[in-house]
Amino acid sequence: MSHQALILLIIGGVILFFISLISSVEQKKKQRKARHFSDKSPKPANIHKKERKVHSPRNYDSYIETLPTVKVGQIIDGDTVDVHYNATKTRIRLSAIDCPEDGQEWGDMATYGLIKLIGGKKHVKLQTHGVDKYGRTVGTFYVYVPEKKEWMNVNERMVTLGHAWVMRAYYKHLPIQQQKRLDKLELWAKTKKIGLWKQPNPLPPWLWRQSKSNSQECSLANLSSHTSAF
């Protein structure tokens, strides 16, 4: 091989080396661009953020605002209210809670507590859940709190203030999250000895009603026996 041919061979090898090197650099640039583009695509965290947004307080308040506004009439006791809406008077039984009865200890306080929450208020919303066996509409009240610029769940508030027990036998119609919230609120009020929980042995209203019914039956039985003796 001549000296000139050898030089040409070396030059050709060098040129091929540089072409290969340039090609490799260009390939790496393309890979970096591809990774940069993929980094701009939506991430799972963003998706989860959108899902949480559905349950945000703002959307919750928006839902409440779609509920009918009612005019509060007579407040019978801590969990029973007469309201006016749809041009009719309707008796509402507060859903999922049970307050001390009239004549029972803390009964007057529970009634007064509900009066403070919704009595005379203009912005009261009602969510209905059906009708109970006594023909009363079962519902959840919401009242607007201007200071916080949000809607307050009155039923839950009655539990928080220690004016009511949670009726677990009658709250299955509520979302599971709301059931758990009611349980936590009752436990908190009980632990802090708020409201009726200040009493050493508070008697649930359903047991109080049962004992009163039993005593009335005994009284009628005694009266009947005395009458038959004459």
- Enumerate the active-site residues: 93, 101, 136
How is residue 123 written in tokens? 């912005």
Spatial separation of the C-alpha atoms in residues 78 and 158, rounded to whole Å = 8
**122 torsion bin: left (phi>0), alpha (psi -120 to 50), beta (else):** alpha
What is the distance, to the nearest Å, from the Cα of residue 153 to the centroid of all Cα atoms in its chain? Answer: 8
How is residue 190 written in tokens? 């009980």
Which SS3 state, helix, strand or coil, does residue 14 take? helix
How is residue 195 written in tokens? 């409201």
CB 64 within 8 A of CB 142: yes
**Nearest-5° Cα angle at 13, 9 to 16:** 140
Dmax (CA) for the chain in angstroms is 151
Spatial separation of the C-alpha atoms in residues 64 and 194, rounded to whole Å = 28
Strand-pair partners of 85: 88
Spatial separation of the C-alpha atoms in residues 32 and 96, rounded to whole Å = 59
Q: Kind of pairing, strands 137-145 and 150-153?
A: antiparallel
